Amino acid sequence: MNFDPTIASITVRAALGRRRALLYAIPPLILIGVSAVLRLTSPADPSWPARILGDFGFSVVLPLTALIIGTSVLGAEVDDGSVIHLLATPVPRRVIITTKVAVATVATIVFAAVPELIAGLIAAGPRLALGLFIGAVAAAIVYNALFVWLSTATSRALIAGLGYVVIWEGVLANLVGGARILSVSHYGLAVASSVAPGHALRPGVGLVTACVLSAVIIAVTLAVAVRQLGSFSLRGETA
Amino acid sequence: MPTGVIHDLGYQRYTGDRYGRAAIIRTLAGYSLRSAFGLGRGARAKIVPVAVFAIMSLPAVINAYVVARGGPRAFPYDTYSYPVRVVLMTIFLAAQAPELVSRDLRHRVLPLYFARPLRPADYPLAKLAALIAACLIVLDVPLLLLYVGTIVGVHGGAAVWAQTTALLPGLALGLLWSVVLATIALAIASCSGRRVFAAGGVAGFFFLTWVLSEVLGTVATSPGTAVVASTAARVAGLVSPFTLLDGVRQWLGGTSPGVVPDPGRLWGAGYALLLLALVTGSVTVLVSRYRKAGAS
Amino acid sequence: MTSIELRGVSRWYGNVVAVNDVTMTIGPGVTGLLGPNGAGKSTLLHLMAGFGEPSRGELTVGGAPAWRRPDVYTILGLVTEGESAYAFLTGAQFVLASARLHRLPDPEAAARRAIGLVDMVGPMNRRISTYSKGMRQRIRVAAALVHEPEVLLLDEPFNGMDPRQRLHMMDLLGRLGTAGRTIVFSSHILEEVAEVSGTIQVMVAGRLAASGDFRAIRRLMTSRPHVFVVRSGDDRRLGAALIGRPAVRGVELTPDGLRVQASDYGAFSTDIARLARAEGIRLRELLPADESLDSVFAYLVA
């Protein structure tokens, strides 16, 4: 079995303990709140649902939430050394990684995909909302696999991930068409627009490409992360 | 009966001059400024600050080339590298603000600092001064490069004077940006000892508010019509510190077009007040954070 | 009965050699890893625990390498230096989680037993964030003992413990060792090691400087004479003067200087200074010829 409930419960408590869950709730609440306000005030631009749901919700709230959750599920423990308590056990490293990615994905879904669904229902119709939700779920899985791998690859995983989200996905993908092929948010948009076509979601890749590349990225990042975790070295006194 | 004796090793109490509180604050600020650019740590710590500075200076370099070929100044001083500046400052602050404050919190060395003649407010204010200075370097030095690159190509005292008068508001704006952004970033970063969460908080705040205000600004105008300073657009500008700064720039007389429409006199004053509130609020949060942390 | 075997194990990070060509076999019982800070004790323990790959040499635990082999943790327990633990869990939850992760058939009973062994039954339902340093250490030892490992590695386990807790932990380790488990713990405090372990391994600057029974090594130190190389203004005259001193066992005149064998290090050092002064000979160089022994000596006996 690739999932360990003990690790999952420790990860949930570590990542979402105390005030942190409240902080994660702020961006989605803003998303839902702003959608409601816009719905009530009917702004001048008729494409406003795509702007708030797409440019804000899908392209910013989702990746940033996935980034912070994804880099902290493993990164925080590696940082303070408490990952040893998981590693000094016969639990296969594969199970540790997949459990943590699963927890991170579920948390991302709760704090980003579900609010996207709710905001979508408020701002647009059920079709678009459902499409965006499923696309967000798909993107959440890929994002978290990517960010958990980054946590095993470098101690500055958050900055590296931030660079990816802000620079690669935020800036380059808009300017250079080819960059969209390696943009996870476009994979999500591709999935979303296959469920809800005709809503001007403008994904940069086709559905098949998105699914194939997503599967490849998930498989490769998880495999490398497992290998990295299996070669975990403790620094001695000369840190 | 075993005896013991304590030997006189000649230790003497230091009775000379001691540096005072001002020197401690100066040293702390200087050290923090250096670590804001990764100096004194490994090469990896320098990647982000150096890259941000390099990209920020790129237009100045391009401009020097253009001016050398005989063209006029290619970039404005007061909206220099806007809006790329937003992304660059977000990344810079998300990477470096935790370097200044989260490390000390994490390793709980604050009692070491406060066991010196240092008032509780001195530590965060020294760090803040350092971060403001760092942002100032990143924002204003490229402007100076732009200036120098331009005046070597112009002739006559009047032209040089014209460049200088155009430069000064740009520098002042850089200072304003530094104060506002550094204060907010440091206040957020000081809330966590874990670098992941401090950086995530800073990046999340700046990035989310920026995109939100951009989205709200675009939906406030019908597509195809010119951007107009409607109430909705003005409200959109309230959301992000970057748009607030741009609005205040225009309120203060800046004429280059920015990302927000000119807020006008009343709203502009409102923007400025909100900025002031943000800065004072952040400073309060920062100082109160260390009043408690110093005791732990 | 599981033993840990090291053959020519070295570990380096870039230019820093943390462990330098260590060969040893650690069998059942309590072995103390002794050495000053920075000697490589932690690194060696991490290598034994499978959290580091030897840059050279072979290291096996129970016959197979520990590196990249999660199964080794069914017979191995590790207590690292420091205080890392999940502060938001209670002591009982922490040990229980460890029991579950070790796939024990009855995790609750194993956890209760382990907590009882380290004498933490009273505070076990409080959060670890409320524990003192010594209590945290003990609960981490409990988590490492919950699966009754044959090999237990502890990195500076007595850090932060008060004398009563230390005695209790020493007693526990002693009992586990007598029962046939292989216990290795590191320390830079001589007394801790001397009290608990029969065998010690002394590490200095990454090298294994001495191994075996603590008292035997100490005897070796005092019975074996020290060799010094002295270079002076007039070696022959100095040598003649030295041979008359009781602290000096032998003097040899070599082209490189005077080789002096001294049986009493302390007396010798005062003697040579006084003699040189009395004879009017300028001393240029005074070096121990037996580096490794001297380093161990200064550490163990001084």
């204003």: which residue's tokens? B140
Query: Same structural domain for residues C216 and C239?
Result: no
Does A7 or B292 have the greater pLDDT score? A7
| Residues of chain C that touch chain A, judged by Cβ-Cβ distance less than 8 Å | 13, 16, 18, 37-38, 40-43, 46, 49, 51-53, 68, 70-71, 73-74, 76-78, 80, 82, 84-86, 88-89, 94, 97-98, 100-103, 143-144
Q: Which domain, by its residues, includes C296?
A: 224-300
Query: Same structural domain for residues C84 and C41?
Result: yes
B197 inside domain: yes
Which amino acid, residue B86?
A: V
B11 inside domain: no
- Per-residue pLDDT band for A219 (boundaries 50, 70, 90) equals very high
pLDDT < 50 stretches in chain B: 296
Query: Same structural domain for residues C232 and C256?
Result: yes
**For residue B293, what pLDDT is reported?**
59
Q: Which domain, by its residues, includes B96?
A: 21-293
Query: Same structural domain for residues C240 and C215?
Result: no
Angstrom distance (rounded) from CA B29 to CA B124 = 10
Residues whose CB falls within 8 Å of the CB of residue C26, separated by 6 or more in sequence, listed in order: C3, C4, C5, C182, C184, C199, C201
**For residue B279, what pLDDT is reported?**
94
Distance from CA of A20 to the nearest CA of C (A): 13
Query: Same structural domain for residues C288 and C146?
Result: no
Q: Answer whether 0.80 is exceeded by the pTM.
A: yes
- The whole-chain average pLDDT of chain C stands at 87
B4 inside domain: no
Going by C-alpha positions, the residue among C279, C291, C280, C228 that lies closest to residue C254 is: C228
Asked if A159 lies within 8 A of B48 by C-beta distance, the reply is yes
**For residue A47, what pLDDT is reported?**
78
Domain endpoint, select from C220, C238, C257: C220
Asked if C73 lies within 8 A of A89 by C-beta distance, the reply is yes
Query: Same structural domain for residues C184 and C270?
Result: no
Asked if B221 lies within 8 A of A170 by C-beta distance, the reply is no
Going by C-alpha positions, the residue among C91, C89, C138, C145 that lies closest to residue C114 is: C145
**For residue C302, what pLDDT is reported?**
47
Phi and psi for B12 in degrees, rounded to 5?
Answer: -130, 145
**For residue A73, what pLDDT is reported?**
92
Angstrom distance (rounded) from CA A49 to CA A42 = 10
Which amino acid, residue B69?
A: R
Distance from CA of C97 to the nearest CA of A (A): 6
Query: Same structural domain for residues C176 and C267?
Result: no
* C132-168 pLDDT, tens digit each: 888 999 999 999 999 999 999 999 998 878 888 888 9
Does A47 or C177 have the greater pLDDT score? C177
**For residue A237, what pLDDT is reported?**
47
Distance from CA of A108 to the nearest CA of C (A): 22
Query: Same structural domain for residues C246 and C107?
Result: no
Query: Same structural domain for residues C238 and C106?
Result: no
Query: Same structural domain for residues C242 and C124?
Result: no
Partners of B195 on chain A (C-beta within 8 Å) are 79, 158
Q: What is the CATH number of the domain that holds C263?
A: 3.30.70.920
- Among B81, B188, B215, B222, the residue to mutate for chain A (most A Cβ within 10 A): B215
Going by C-alpha positions, the residue among B101, B108, B90 that lies closest to residue B36 is: B101
B151 inside domain: yes
B73 inside domain: yes
Walk along chain C (302 residues) in steps of 10 and give the mean pLDDT of each run: 92 89 92 84 92 93 92 93 84 95 94 93 92 90 94 90 88 92 88 78 84 74 73 90 88 89 80 88 82 55 48
B80 inside domain: yes
Q: What is the CATH number of the domain that holds C201?
A: 3.40.50.300
* B179-238 pLDDT, tens digit each: 999 999 999 999 888 888 899 999 999 999 999 988 888 887 766 666 666 777 788 888
With H, G, I as helix, E, B as strand and everything else as coil, classify residue B169: helix
**For residue C196, what pLDDT is reported?**
79
**For residue C214, what pLDDT is reported?**
72
Distance from CA of A158 to the nearest CA of B (A): 6
Asked if A236 lies within 8 A of C68 by C-beta distance, the reply is no
> Positive or negative CA dihedral for C228, C231, C233, C237?
positive
Contact C293, C227 (CB under 8 A): no
Q: Out of A20, A45, A157, name the one closest to residue B218 (CB).
A: A45
CA-nearest residue to C147 within chain A is: A89
CB crowding C67-80: b at 16 or more within 10 Å, else e = beebebbebbbbbb
Neighbours of chain C (3+ CB pairs under 8 A): A
Domain endpoint, select from C199, C220, C241: C220
> Domain count of chain B?
1
Asked if C80 lies within 8 A of A17 by C-beta distance, the reply is no
Q: Provide ipTM, 2 decimals.
A: 0.88
**Residue pairs between chains A and C whose CB atoms are closer than 8 Å:** 88
> Domain count of chain C?
2
**For residue B141, what pLDDT is reported?**
93
- Among A6, A82, A234, the residue to mutate for chain C (most C Cβ within 10 A): A234
Asked if A56 lies within 8 A of B197 by C-beta distance, the reply is no
